[in-house]
Amino acid sequence: MTTSKPLSPADADAFGRELDALRAEVLADLGQADVDHIRRMIRLVRYTEVAGRVLLHFGIGPLTFALGVSALGASKILENMEVGHNVMHGQYDWSGDPALDSKSYEWDTACPAEDWRHSHNYEHHTFTNVLGRDRDVGYAFLRVNAAQPWRVHHLVQPISAAVLALLFQWGVGMHDLRINETLAGQQPVSELRRRARPFLRKAGWQLAKDYVAYPLLAVFNAPRVLAGNLIANGLRNLWTFGIIFCGHFPEGVQLYSAEQTSTESRGQWYVRQLNGSANIEGSHTLHVLSGHLSHQIEHHLFPDLPAARYPELAPKVRAICERYGQVYNTGSFAAQLGSVARQLVVNALPSGRNALRSVA
- What residues line the site for another protein (CB under 8 A)? 20, 23-24, 27, 30-36, 42-43, 46, 89-90, 93-99, 102-103, 106, 117-118, 121-122, 125-126, 201-202, 205, 209, 266, 269, 303-304
How far is 347 from 353, CA to CA, in rounded Å? 10
Q: DSSP letter at 256?
A: B
**130 pairs with which residues across the strands?**
256
* Nearest distance from C-beta of residue 208 to another protein, angstroms: 9
* Nearest distance from C-beta of residue 164 to another protein, angstroms: 25
| Closer residue to another protein in complex, CB, 36/312 | 36
**256 pairs with which residues across the strands?**
130
| Closer residue to another protein in complex, CB, 46/323 | 46
Helix pair angle (333-346, 222-248), 10° resolution: 80
How far is 135 from 2, CA to CA, in rounded Å? 27
| Closer residue to another protein in complex, CB, 117/318 | 117
* Nearest distance from C-beta of residue 94 to another protein, angstroms: 7
* Nearest distance from C-beta of residue 97 to another protein, angstroms: 6
| Listed residue (142, 103, 101, 136) closest to 120, CA to CA | 136
| Closer residue to another protein in complex, CB, 68/303 | 303
| Closer residue to another protein in complex, CB, 5/118 | 118
* Nearest distance from C-beta of residue 288 to another protein, angstroms: 19
Helices (H), the chain: 9-29, 32-58, 62-78, 86-88, 113-116, 125-126, 157-166, 168-174, 179-183, 189-208, 214-217, 222-248, 258-261, 266-275, 284-289, 296-301, 310-323, 333-346
| Closer residue to another protein in complex, CB, 42/66 | 42
* Nearest distance from C-beta of residue 205 to another protein, angstroms: 5
